[in-house]
Structure 1
Amino acid sequence: MSKCSCEESLHSSERQSSWWNEYQPYFWASFSAILLLSGICLEMFRPDLFKKELQWIVYGVAYYIVGKPVVWKAVKKLFTADLFNEFFLMSLATIGAFVIGEYAEGVAVMLFYTVGELFQEAAVNRAKRSIESLLKLQVEEVQVLEDGKSFVKHPKDVQPGQIIQVKSGEKVALDGVLFNKHASFNTAALTGESLPVDKEKGDEVLAGMINLHMLAEIKVSRKYEDSKLSQILNLVQEATSRKAKAQRFITRFAKVYTPVVVFLAVGLTLFPWFFVENYVFNDWLYKSLIFLVISCPCALVISIPLGYFGGIGAASKNGILFKGSNFLDQITRIDTVVMDKTGTLTKGVFEVQDVVADNLEKNDFVQMVAALEAHSNHPIAQAIVKYAGDTFKELSIAEVEEIPGHGLKGKINDNQTILAGNEKLLYKFNIPFDEKLSMLSDTTVLVAINGKFAGYIIIADTLKEDAKIAIKALYDAKIKTLVMLSGDKQIVVDRIADQLGLDKAVGGLLPEDKVKEVERLKEEGRLIAFVGDGINDAPVVTVADVGMAMGGLGSDAAIEAADVVIQTDQPSKIVTAVKVGHVTKRIVWQNIGLAFGVKLIVLILGAGGIATMWEAVFADVGVALLAIFNAMRIQNFKFVQM
């Protein structure tokens, strides 16, 4: 046999083994169900053939298939001094049913319990797949340069000292230092500033920065384990470890509740001997077994954590990571949302906002400036070129000179000298202009032609596409107050606040000032959610009742400090996070009400001898299944997409 055939045979065997491991529990549960139904049919239609010995075999095998794992867990917990648990209750009730000859009921209880566990596992796996899909948004491969050749590798396989290549528009996957001469990066996620940063050879480049221009080569300085991707993976693994109040209550409740019902069941079996004339032990034992099955807290123990886990999965399906189910509860109580500006409500990229020309047609002025700026790769220059369109290419441009830190100089149509840059450029060439222009809120490109000031172009960061919709939706979601805090000038902050219709906006703040603002709001009795993305936002994210970070481009510090991470960087996802919290909370409390209500009714009927083991099965496993299906609805809930 060829090597290829051997490998194919091996892979085929592995696939078959994987398939069997996944579906084996369903096969055995189905086989047990067939035996149970066969036994019931034989009892009903051919009781003459279905003697007690045969019943023991059929029902015994059916019980062994589904009951062995549960009984074994009960035995193991016995050795850890954990006697009163759901496995002990199920084992005691079903074995007792066999003792008094109620074989079908005993198998049915264990079978339906097993089916409930399978449904729970399926729901959890579905939620896990939703969470895993969130991670696919992260960088999964990098180009590594070795011996002059480029190879694709996973970031975890890249070692410090190796060179990685990052194309224009790509996110840097690992921390390092710039290896080529120069490059420009969008660093809004790390600094909170909307201006791009030019890097020279040897300068530090951090994971999360976006390369804006030509191919960049970066010498890796830290391992993958220390990168943002590794941190996100850890957050996912820890996401379900922080329990909500409802979960903690049920855990404590079950520890007290379980021994109480066991002693009540013993009392229900023995105490009637003192008060009932025609006392029959088997009858009262049967009632106590029914009582045990009904009282088993499976529906609560299973469905409540599953409800919160489903909420975490539904959120991740929408690009939102809750670090624990307690934050799903907490987000439903917030009444004030405080947001950073750059990278949270705005894109952190430049677009032309206004053009003012002196003694020139506006269009001609733009075309001349664009012809010069086309010779630069700077984001500001590119914004002007994009705004101008293609007609500037008809102009002749020569002797273009880039003056670092100042701007550009060149000649148009061989006879006009044009300058485009900041105020330092005009000072350098002794060109007078209105100095108030240097105080404008946004980035201003000043232009001079033939030694005279010719006009200016205002370029500014722009709102994210869904920012206005998000603000309206937050008000619709009964959030009382919306506030924006920023390090930018107040005039810039006021302009953005007016566009969005915010209640309050404060600019010129340092990170510690933002903390003070949030603490002041909390002193007024408000429950605060703060949304930010940069390192400068990490302190205030920690102080807020619910800290939220923009995780697609957000800094490691902000993501680490946050309770909720929005992977898509969309402000509209803030509303989705609130809605997921409310839906999860509603479904969890529906499950609690359903479980307690049905169990209380059937417990009373069981103690009075009215309910049979079949009603007990419904009160326990049936309610658990209904609660599981209800919890699974969270995964299918259609949250409004902005």
Structure 2
Amino acid sequence: MLTTEKTYKDSCCDNSRADEAPRELKPTPPRNEFFSTWGPSIFSFVMLVLGLVGEYFFHISQFSDLPGLAWYAVAYLPVGLPVLVKGWKSILKGDVFTEFFLMGIATLGAFAIGEYPEAVAVMLFYTIGESLQHKAVSRARKNIQALLDMRPDLAHVHRKGNVIPVSPEAVAVGETIEVKAGERVPLDGIMVTEHGSFNPAAITGESRPITRRKEGEVLAGMINLDSLVLLKVIRPFQESSLSKIFKAIQEAASRKAKPEQFIRKFARIYTPIVTFMAIGLALLPYFWVDDYQFREWLYRALVFLVISCPCALVISIPLGYFGGIGAASRNGILFKGSNYLDLITKVNTVVMDKTGTLTKGVFEVQKVHASDTPHADWLALAASLESKSSHPIAKAITSFAKKTNKPVFLPQKLQEVSGKGLTGLVEGHKVVVGNAVLMRDNGIHTESETDHESSTIIHVAVDEKYCGRIIIADEIKQDTQQAIGDLRKTGIKSIFLFSGDRDAVTQALVKELKLDKGYGDLLPEQKVARLEALKRAKDRTVAFVGDGINDGPVLALADVGIAMGGMGSDLAIETADVVIQTDQPSKIAVAMRIGKATKAIVWQNISMAFGVKLLVLVLGAGGIAGMWEAVFADVGVALLAILNAVRINKHF
């Protein structure tokens, strides 16, 4: 029943529009919904039953003549006329071989050979099946529909001493908005209020409350659980986290998996072929069948047409992937297309970044070692330089300086050297802060790093003179161990660690997590080279998981790029194919299981639809199966396939 998919397309069989992205979903008005959906079917069913009772139980002979034709025509029109009109409109657009054409020809042909009840029954059950499938589709879409409806209609903005309700699109970056308890946050912002509690389920899929303190970031879509809070808007509405989720879901259907692409192309070729085969089935037996009767072979051809509708395939396969995307979104995972749902099932090698992926990315300064002759303000100068960086290590150094009452100055000529550190001028001094590689690049000799090998070491030089090192430690995420175990259980053969951190730190983490191999001291281009080497290996499909700006190139290069979306950079999120909104590495295995479950359901539907249709096609051509079996092969199989497709929402 191809029109079941009209909730996001005009028609699955409208081939000119088959590859368009779904339009924004809007709820159907409830007025007279039951009557408009079921009224025509109920009327036709009553008329059909009365006709059959009159003809077969009371033996009213007129039902086989003109009065019978008129009676069944009245029963046929409420369910058949809309289909015939759609078929005619498709033909005018140049799209002849649609389901409407097949059903129209089959039922009108049945009228022509005097099979009035069967003509009505085929169109009636076709319409009933279409309505039931529409309900099934609606249930499958509820999770995604809920996400799309989460965007608030109003934002309460402070302007000229007043609080004004306006559309979120009309709020500028830098303006202050207020969010009352129980309201959904309309825009991304930072806390002006001292603290607040929020439900992040719309963004992360987790309903556990989180607390945000002053200057903490709050994302659009979260629900304020506390008293009234004030937020300073940091992104326009179109760039808010919730809008990006909405956009990703809306665009997902435009990136189709290979089975879906194949079925759509197949349907366009298959439908005209079976139409001409039906014509051949009606006419060609004349040349070799001795007692050829046109009416009998025309009936077989009409049965053949009804059976041959590719509805179950064309609807249930996209719906299977759509259900997978919905189940993933409910778990805080965004797939940017059904093709990635398919591709993630082939991944056998996972490469992970360290900071922000396996570790919390919340660094703290553990120790500070000064050289024998440091600059008096070397730590303050280093913190001043790092104050303009958003990197977690930079925040740790700046925070430590504030705690120890070090002054923070305004840096100049700041330059970030990707994967190495920062250089710039502070209070007239040339300051270099970063790893040992950056020091060597600037001709500065560092002291030994033999101590604290499992920690991150940041070196500082002022006016080309080495001043000391800052030892910083990160903490492994709570579910990292579980994530590695779950990945092994899903069949991942190899797990690698790529990190820009010191190799000693990297190897310590590899040993602790029992990974296959790790590489440290990697610059972004070196990560790319390592990943290219992995991909060259035979039978290896690689997923890369990262969160930073420097992970952008490898996320793009990987077969499947997975970004940590909660704290990840915008570049990583935009580049990735899959986004983990919760920042939990354990969700990677969940994404893979959803992909595998979706693929299994899709291929079950393909096998079931092809198997049943092929069987009934052969029986119909041989005169064994009639219109009733044809109805099951078309309507029944389509409905079973759709019910099978929505199962995924019950398992994740």
In structure 2, relative to structure 1, the CA distance for the partners of 1:302 and 1:104 (3 Å cut) is farther
Q: Report how far residue 543 of structure 1 moved.
A: 0.8
Alignment-derived partner of residue 589 in structure 2: 575
Alignment-derived partner of residue 46 in structure 1: 58
- Of stretches 42-51 and 110-119 in structure 1, the one that deviates more from structure 2 is 42-51
Can you list the C-alpha shifts for 1:437-481, whole angstroms capped at 9, x where unaligned?
996654799xxxxxxxxxxx9873322222211110111111001
1:109 is paired with a residue whose SS is: helix
Alpha-carbon contact 1:552-1:566 (below 8 Å) kept: yes
Can you list the C-alpha shifts for 1:185-211, whole angstroms capped at 9, x where unaligned?
xxxxxxxxxxxxx999xxx99979x9x
Alignment-derived partner of residue 478 in structure 1: 491
Q: Report how far residue 54 of structure 1 moved.
A: 5.4
Alpha-carbon contact 2:456-2:501 (below 8 Å) kept: no
In structure 2, relative to structure 1, the CA distance for the partners of 1:586 and 1:218 (3 Å cut) is closer
Alignment-derived partner of residue 576 in structure 2: 562
Between the aligned partners of 1:115 and 1:89, the Cα distance in structure 2 is 17
Aligned residue among 328, 345, 348 for 1:332: 345
1:402 is paired with a residue whose SS is: coil
Alignment-derived partner of residue 82 in structure 1: 95
Alignment-derived partner of residue 530 in structure 1: 544
Name the % identity. Answer: 54
Between the aligned partners of 1:319 and 1:276, the Cα distance in structure 2 is 63
Residue 622 (structure 2) pairs with residue 608 (structure 1): yes
Alignment-derived partner of residue 396 in structure 1: none
Contiguous gaps of at least 5 residues in structure 1: 1-14, 181-197, 355-377, 385-399, 407-423, 425-433, 446-456
Give, as a single letter, the amino acid of the residue that structure 1 aligns with 2:598: T
In structure 2, relative to structure 1, the CA distance for the partners of 1:148 and 1:462 (3 Å cut) is farther
Aligned residue among 40, 45, 51 for 1:33: 45
2:90 is paired with a residue whose SS is: helix
Between the aligned partners of 2:106 and 2:39, the Cα distance in structure 1 is 25
Alpha-carbon contact 2:561-2:575 (below 8 Å) kept: yes
Give, as a single letter, the amino acid of the residue that structure 1 aligns with 2:332: G
Give, as a single letter, the amino acid of the residue that structure 2 aligns with 1:266: I
Between the aligned partners of 1:528 and 1:17, the Cα distance in structure 2 is 46
Alignment-derived partner of residue 268 in structure 1: 281
> How do 1:3-42 residues align onto structure 2 when only pairs under 5 Å count?
18-21=30-33, 24-42=36-54
Alignment-derived partner of residue 120 in structure 2: 107
In structure 2, relative to structure 1, the CA distance for the partners of 1:496 and 1:113 (3 Å cut) is farther
Aligned residue among 343, 348, 354 for 1:341: 354
Alignment-derived partner of residue 94 in structure 1: 107
Give, as a single letter, the amino acid of the residue that structure 2 aligns with 1:563: D
**What's the RMSD between the two structures over aligned residues?**
4.2
Contiguous gaps of at least 5 residues in structure 2: 1-26, 194-212, 223-227, 368-393, 410-432, 434-446, 459-469
Alignment-derived partner of residue 634 in structure 1: 648
Q: Report how far residue 333 of structure 1 moved.
A: 0.7
Between the aligned partners of 1:468 and 1:113, the Cα distance in structure 2 is 52
Can you list the C-alpha shifts for 1:523-578, whole angstroms capped at 9, x where unaligned?
11321111122222222111110111222333322222111122222212111111
Alignment-derived partner of residue 236 in structure 1: 249
Alignment-derived partner of residue 402 in structure 1: 405
Q: Report how far residue 62 of structure 1 moved.
A: 3.5
Alpha-carbon contact 1:133-1:317 (below 8 Å) kept: no
Can you list the C-alpha shifts for 1:248-299, whole angstroms capped at 9, x where unaligned?
2112222222222111211222222333343322111111101111122122
Alpha-carbon contact 1:63-1:110 (below 8 Å) kept: yes
Give, as a single letter, the amino acid of the residue that structure 1 aligns with 2:237: Y
Alignment-derived partner of residue 302 in structure 2: 289
Between the aligned partners of 1:83 and 1:135, the Cα distance in structure 2 is 35
In structure 2, relative to structure 1, the CA distance for the partners of 1:480 and 1:150 (3 Å cut) is farther
Q: Report how far residue 227 of structure 1 moved.
A: 3.5
Residue 567 (structure 2) pairs with residue 553 (structure 1): yes
Give, as a single letter, the amino acid of the residue that structure 1 aligns with 2:56: M
Aligned residue among 55, 60, 70 for 2:83: 70
Q: Report how far residue 37 of structure 1 moved.
A: 3.6
> How do 1:145-184 residues align onto structure 2 when only pairs under 5 Å count?
145-148=158-161, 155-160=168-173, 162-164=175-177
2:362 is paired with a residue whose SS is: strand
Give, as a single letter, the amino acid of the residue that structure 2 aligns with 1:349: V
Alpha-carbon contact 1:299-1:625 (below 8 Å) kept: yes
Alignment-derived partner of residue 598 in structure 2: 584
In structure 2, relative to structure 1, the CA distance for the partners of 1:468 and 1:298 (3 Å cut) is same
Between the aligned partners of 1:290 and 1:147, the Cα distance in structure 2 is 73
Alpha-carbon contact 1:290-1:613 (below 8 Å) kept: yes
Alignment-derived partner of residue 452 in structure 1: none
1:403 is paired with a residue whose SS is: coil
2:32 is paired with a residue whose SS is: helix
> How do 1:199-598 residues align onto structure 2 when only pairs under 5 Å count?
220=233, 223-349=236-362, 402-404=405-407, 441-442=454-455, 460-525=473-538, 526-598=540-612
Alpha-carbon contact 2:72-2:117 (below 8 Å) kept: yes
Between the aligned partners of 2:164 and 2:505, the Cα distance in structure 1 is 45
Structure number with greater Rg is 1
Between the aligned partners of 1:596 and 1:101, the Cα distance in structure 2 is 31
Can you list the C-alpha shifts for 1:482-527, whole angstroms capped at 9, x where unaligned?
1122222223323333332211222222322222221111111321
2:361 is paired with a residue whose SS is: strand
Q: Report how far residue 334 of structure 1 moved.
A: 0.9
Q: Report how far residue 143 of structure 1 moved.
A: 6.4
Between the aligned partners of 1:199 and 1:629, the Cα distance in structure 2 is 48
In structure 2, relative to structure 1, the CA distance for the partners of 1:435 and 1:271 (3 Å cut) is closer
Alpha-carbon contact 1:119-1:628 (below 8 Å) kept: no
Between the aligned partners of 1:120 and 1:518, the Cα distance in structure 2 is 45
Give, as a single letter, the amino acid of the residue that structure 2 aligns with 1:24: S
1:82 is paired with a residue whose SS is: coil
Alpha-carbon contact 1:42-1:50 (below 8 Å) kept: no
Q: Report how far residue 237 of structure 1 moved.
A: 0.9
* Count of aligned residue pairs for this structure pair: 522
Q: Report how far residue 614 of structure 1 moved.
A: 0.9
Q: Report how far residue 108 of structure 1 moved.
A: 2.4
Alignment-derived partner of residue 394 in structure 1: none
Alignment-derived partner of residue 389 in structure 1: none
Q: Report how far residue 20 of structure 1 moved.
A: 2.5
In structure 2, relative to structure 1, the CA distance for the partners of 1:511 and 1:165 (3 Å cut) is farther
Give, as a single letter, the amino acid of the residue that structure 2 aligns with 1:33: F
